[in-house]
Amino acid sequence: MSFFAIRYPFFILMLCMVVIVVGVVAVLGMPVDLFPRINIPVVVVATFYSGMPPQQIEADITNSDERFFTLGSNIDHIESRSLPGVSLIKVYFQPGTDPTAAVSNISNLAMANLRRLPPGTLPPVVLSFDAANLPVCLVTLKGAGAE
């Protein structure tokens, strides 16, 4: 190998130049973004019923919505959380699912299930969950209070 490099130095020099040019072109052609688009097909559904305890929210609202959302297409999995007065459900879709179609699908299912929920339940809020909505950093400060 070293014999070939010594015998044909211009060939080796040109090979190095080709590698450098291809590398520079590849680096310049790469998209650079501070916050790149991350396509996470997730829909969040929040349903409110003021004053209802979490156990009742889970039994009357969350379980009913979860069962109804399984009728949607391209669903990967569903996560839920029941809090006092609110039911939060995250519906994760298969990669490549159109986010607007996913929101529309889940919104239609949520509104169709509204009549099965307890009377007085507010209409659900359906939002597309995007990585841009997540906080980059959470800072907590603690100190002696001024009196």
What pLDDT is attached to residue 37?
A: 67
The CB density around residue 41, as the number of other CB atoms within 10 Å, is: 22
SS3 content of the chain, % helix, strand, coil (to 5): 45, 20, 35
Q: What is the tens place of the pLDDT at every residue in 98-140?
A: 888 889 999 999 999 988 989 989 999 998 876 666 666 778 8
Q: Where are the alpha helices (DSSP H) in 30-62?
A: 54-57
What pLDDT is attached to residue 35?
A: 64
Bridge-partner residues for 90, per DSSP?
Answer: 44, 79
Spell out the CATH class of 42-131: alpha beta
In this prediction the pTM is 0.65
Phi, psi of 83 (to 5 degrees): -120, 170
The low-confidence residues of the chain, meaning pLDDT below 70, are: 35-38, 130-136, 145-147
Phi, psi of 56 (to 5 degrees): -70, -40
- Domain limits of the chain? 42-131
Give the pair of three-digit tokens for residue 113.
């299930």
